[in-house]
Structure 1
């Protein structure tokens, strides 16, 4: 991931509804959710949610798949991993022991 990609992703997440939508989609992996279900869960009008989902998609954070008349959205966990690694790549100036608490939090039990 490069600076421009990271800035696009972080910019897309720097809005409350989009951040909530992304976190909701992460919780619903790997099945994802229909656009209408995302809007309903967050109590946001469907046309407004469509704009937010499009922003997240342009940033590469989510993917969509048409299923008949429904568009299903999923979080792109690989992209999330790349963004997270980009942010912590030079963590603590190479002193791995200083990053241990962060890594422990990110590692599932």
Structure 2
């Protein structure tokens, strides 16, 4: 991962609403959540939610897809794992350590 990519992802997460939104999508797993459900769960107005979703999509941390008349958002687990690996790649002087070995998340399907 390039430094610039990591900075973009970290900047997107460095805001309370977007961090809560990303964590909700991680918890939802690969099925994701409809935008309306996210708005309801987090108590965010649709216009504000749209802004925050756009920032996370731009950072590559979440993805969207259309299902019928709904837009479903889901976490990009590969991007999250890449960011975690980038942050911990020099952990423990480059040696394998317990924190680095658990830095991979595989969503349950």
TM-score (norm. length: structure 2): 0.89
How many residues align? The count is 105
**Which residue does 1:28 correspond to in 2?**
28
Aligned to 1:41: 41
Equivalent-residue separation in structure 2 for 1:80 and 1:72 (angstroms): 18
1:16 match:
16
- The higher radius of gyration belongs to 1
Q: In the alignment, which residue of structure 1 is the partner of 2:94?
A: 94
Q: 5+ unaligned residues in a row in structure 2: which ranges?
A: none
Q: Which runs of 4+ in 1 moved over 3 A?
A: 103-108
Residue 4 of structure 1 is matched in structure 2 by 4
Change (3 A) 1:107 1:70: closer
Change (3 A) 1:87 1:65: same
SS in 2 for 1:83: helix
**Superposed CA offset, 1:39-58 (max 9, x none):** 11000101100110010000
RMSD over aligned Cα atoms: 1.6
**Partner residue, 1:80:** 80
User: How much does 1:105 deviate?
Assistant: 5.2
TM-score by structure 1 length? 0.89
Q: Alignment partner of 1:65: what SS?
A: strand
